[in-house]
Structure 1
Amino acid sequence: MLVLGLVGRMAASDVNSLTEDEAREGWRLLFDGSSLDGWRGFKSERPDKNWRVEDGALVLRGKAGDLVTQEAFGDFELTLEWKVAEGANSGVIYRVGLGEANTFTTGPEYQVLDNVKAHDNHPASHRAGALYDLEGIEEDVTRPVGEWNQARIVVSGWRVQHWLNGRQIVDVDLASPAGKALIAASKFKHWEKFASLARGHLALQDHGDVVSYRAIKLRELK
């Protein structure tokens, strides 16, 4: 767990910091802008060297495997910023169980993508901000490649909400009959533990492309 005693002493321009209001509201930093403290590999206790810190961002360059929080979370609100290289694909996967074959066999995914040139840019449920392979929108609300996008994810029970650059993309309860029907019609129907864990880890996906994350903030919901 990161110690947040430096809140308020960081430069105001540092995106990897909390405001006094955020700290009072229970927000925490999951990335401090200078180290990989609080993170591990999905199948190893240490992050791979190809996950690195560059100019205050958490950047993947080269094959590394998914990067996972050491801590697990139940209900939460998460905000972060992301950007991708041209044609790149990644994702934020949540309520991940360790010890499984892949992060996505247990955890749903917030899709991170170059909507224009990535190969996997259709159907709508594969586009940026989507609940991957389950729900999304046709409209592209991403910023141009190389610019930062703002993501927000809220998970309460199995009600899942996604926002991208201030636009809500997803609002679905995966435990409801409608949500279970979405899963049954998706690739995830093959994994019985998918969207079943009450608590789990967050994962940043290695899809073989260059991707960057920063301003990763989370508060647990009671």
Structure 2
Amino acid sequence: MLNFTYNISKLLTTNKRRSNTLHMKKQLGSIAALLALSLAGTAQTTFKPEDTEFYSPKPPVVMLRNEIPSDALILFDGSGLQQWVSSEHPEQAAPWTVRDNILTVKPGTGAIQTKQQFEDFQLHVEWRSPEVVKGEGQGRGNSGIFLQGLYEIQVLDNNDNPTYVNGQAGSIYKQRPPLVEVRAGEDKWHRYDIIYRAPRFNKDGMLISKGTVTVLHNGVLVQNNTQIEGTTEYIGLPKMKAHGAGPIVLQDHGDLVDFRRIWIRPL
């Protein structure tokens, strides 16, 4: 008990030197909780079940409608590209092709991006390699999904296609390979479910914490709360620059990659 009291006193002294009042209050609250638990343990206090139960605030109710959460923003449902613009010319409409509820890259027109910008989110994207796949390596059914316009989750035809592992489908491009290689099912569609936490910067633009991403590829975990080291560069090392919210970007890499059923839940 003496050691515990000494540690409490030391932490309080340290906290007095801090200028962040909110942080101090959180620390003091934690200390009070620890002290209460310690005293309760010493006195062998008997708890009741209701002592550790709370009833508010209640989580919002989310329903599934056609397998889409009711609080999701629909980015593409086959009806058009109302939520998208050209990345090169944001004042212009997205120039890709929509046919039979499927969005297809129009090679040579450049990437497209969402009109809205995001920070933390859950993103669902379905994609399919071209019907006729040409080339090899990175020239085989290549596209990408850029989180906040900066960090690429690779889209690539992996079938019997040797390439660098941190550039195959499911990788954080040029940074982290997927935990496993996932192939498409009989319908040839791939499904990404991406849970992303944006990097944090202070008011002076200094990095507080790097971004992280979890990716399920056709329901299989391929990135597990993986740290993103910075921008996903084709040449050179990742760069970390301060930024705020950013768009979802779909890459034009010159291949006729298809997309469908794209939705996002800001977190």
- Asked whether the two chains share a fold, i.e. TM above 0.5, the reply is yes
Greater relative contact order, per chain length (Cα 8 Å cut-off, separation 6+): 1
Residue 148 (structure 2) aligns with:
95
Alignment equivalent of 1:189, drawn from 212, 228, 237: 237
User: Structure 1: how far apart are the matches of 2:189 and 2:68?
Assistant: 23
User: Structure 2: how far apart are the matches of 1:39 and 1:33?
Assistant: 13
1:94 to 1:56, Cα distance in 2 relative to 1, 3 A: same
> What is the CA distance between 1:190 and its match in structure 2?
6.0
**1:70-219 equivalences in 2 (<5 Å):** 70-85=115-130, 86=133, 87-96=140-149, 107-116=150-159, 121-137=162-178, 139-143=180-184, 147-157=188-198, 158-171=211-224, 172-174=226-228, 179=229, 187=235, 189=237, 191-193=239-241, 196-219=242-265
Alignment equivalent of 1:22, drawn from 69, 93, 108: 69
> What is the CA distance between 1:210 and its match in structure 2?
0.5
Is the Cα–Cα contact under 8 Å of residues 39 and 46 in structure 1 kept in the other structure? no
Q: Which moved more, 1:78-87 or 1:184-193?
A: 184-193
Residue 26 (structure 2) aligns with:
none
User: Structure 2: how far apart are the matches of 1:150 and 1:20?
Assistant: 13
User: Structure 2: how far apart are the matches of 1:35 and 1:41?
Assistant: 14
User: Structure 2: how far apart are the matches of 1:131 and 1:54?
Assistant: 29
Q: Deviations over 1:40-84 (max 9, x none)?
A: 0111122453x1111101111331100100110010000121001
TM-score (norm 1): 0.72
- Bigger proportion of residues as strand: 1
User: Structure 1: how far apart are the matches of 2:81 and 2:252?
Assistant: 16
- 3-state SS of the aligned residue for 1:135? coil
- 3-state SS of the aligned residue for 1:197? coil
Which amino acid is 2:129 matched to? Answer: V
- 3-state SS of the aligned residue for 2:170? coil
User: Structure 1: how far apart are the matches of 2:84 and 2:110?
Assistant: 13
- Bigger proportion of residues as helix: 2
User: Structure 2: how far apart are the matches of 1:31 and 1:184?
Assistant: 25
User: Structure 2: how far apart are the matches of 1:186 and 1:64?
Assistant: 20
Gaps in structure 2 of 5+ consecutive residues: 1-62, 134-139, 199-210
Residue 66 in structure 1 maps to residue 111 in structure 2: yes
- 3-state SS of the aligned residue for 2:117? strand
Is the Cα–Cα contact under 8 Å of residues 18 and 29 in structure 1 kept in the other structure? no
Residue 55 in structure 1 maps to residue 55 in structure 2: no
> What is the CA distance between 1:173 and its match in structure 2?
2.2
TM-score (norm 2): 0.61
Q: Which has the larger radius of gyration?
A: 2
User: Structure 1: how far apart are the matches of 2:227 and 2:237?
Assistant: 16
User: Structure 2: how far apart are the matches of 1:192 and 1:151?
Assistant: 25
1:126 to 1:54, Cα distance in 2 relative to 1, 3 A: same
Q: Which moved more, 1:159-168 or 1:208-217?
A: 159-168
Gaps in structure 1 of 5+ consecutive residues: 1-7, 9-16, 97-106
Q: Please, what is the CA RMSD of the aligned residues? A: 2.8
